[in-house]
Amino acid sequence: SDNKRKIYRNILIADNKIVGAILVGQTDDAGIINSLINSRTKISFWLSDISRSPLDMKKRLLLSQC
């Protein structure tokens, strides 16, 4: 979360998959998150990046695929 920009994110993870999310303020990554939920993609390969910086998931995903 980022109190200055009034952004809150709660990414729910089970069995190395995103199973839900709450996005308030910045919803740019909603499509990516929704796609990961629907496809039941395992995210273990970039879980630590999500934990450190959950506000820019698109950038993290693209960097992890390089």
DSSP, residue by residue, 2-47:
BTTTTBEEEEEEETTEEEEEEEES--TTHHHHHHHHHHT-B-GGGH
Burial class for 38, CB neighbours closer than 10 Å (0-12, 13-18, 19+): exposed
- Residues 13-39: pLDDT tens digits? 899 898 999 988 878 888 888 988 999
pTM of the model: 0.69
Q: Is the pLDDT of residue 65 over 60?
A: no
What whole-number distance in Å separates Cα of residue 46 and Cα of residue 12?
14
